[in-house]
Amino acid sequence: MAYNAKRKLEGNLAALRISLQWDGKRKLSEQEVSALKSYAGFGGIPAILFPGTEREGWVASGAKEADLQLLPLNRDLHLLLSEHLAADDYKQAVSAMKESVLSAFYTPTVIPQVLFEAMIESGLSPQRIYEPSAGAGIFITEAVRSFPNLQEVTAV
């Protein structure tokens, strides 16, 4: 499966929309939970580094055509954040997104599935696991599914 920045940004936008609009009271639907689980962070989406939401600013900063295709989604992202966050919180959220471009990568489900399948085929069945970078919990979810005798999970 090829990396697709547009699809990743669309998924992140959907997850953020659910998160920011949720009132904390109603139960989320399975579709909403699935969308939240697909949140993948902004690692590998350098288009969010471009200033503002205007095409001219992006072009002046050296945006390529592939970057410019993300401009409408970037506008939606900034609008969503500005509608739901106070001005200081909005600035902090945008700053955090920009800082995470080189470091925030979330693991696709297939990675722990293949890893745990190989462990099972090798006769390994851990009772405890440590997840040092839990993120969206993909490794934990797959570990619980793969190892029914799992007794302890420590996640950071």
- Do 51 and 120 lie in one domain? The reply is no
Does 140 fall in a domain? Answer: yes
- Residue 101 confidence class, pLDDT cut points 50, 70, 90: confident
- Do 23 and 71 lie in one domain? The reply is yes
Q: What is the pLDDT of residues 23-42, one digit of tens each?
A: 989 999 999 998 988 888 88
- Residue 108 confidence class, pLDDT cut points 50, 70, 90: confident
Is 17:78 a contact under the CB 8 Å cutoff? no
pLDDT of 89 strictly over 70: yes
What amino acid occupies position 124? L
pLDDT at 83: 94
- Do 95 and 129 lie in one domain? The reply is no
Q: Is 45 left (phi over 0), alpha (psi -120 to 50) or beta?
A: beta
Average pLDDT value over all residues in the chain: 89
pLDDT at 2: 62
- Do 82 and 151 lie in one domain? The reply is no
Q: In whole angstroms, give the CA distance from residue 116 to residue 29.
A: 29
Q: What percent of the chain has pLDDT over 90?
A: 57
Q: In whole angstroms, give the CA distance from residue 28 to residue 1.
A: 29
- Do 143 and 120 lie in one domain? The reply is yes
Does 104 fall in a domain? Answer: no
The tally of domains found in the chain comes to 2
pLDDT at 143: 94
pLDDT at 111: 87
Mean pLDDT, rounded, for 71-94 = 93
Does 105 fall in a domain? Answer: no
Which residue range forms the structural domain that includes residue 124?
Answer: 110-155
Does 24 fall in a domain? Answer: yes
* Whole-model pTM over 0.75: no
- Do 48 and 89 lie in one domain? The reply is yes
Q: In whole angstroms, give the CA distance from residue 91 to residue 115.
A: 39
- Do 92 and 119 lie in one domain? The reply is no
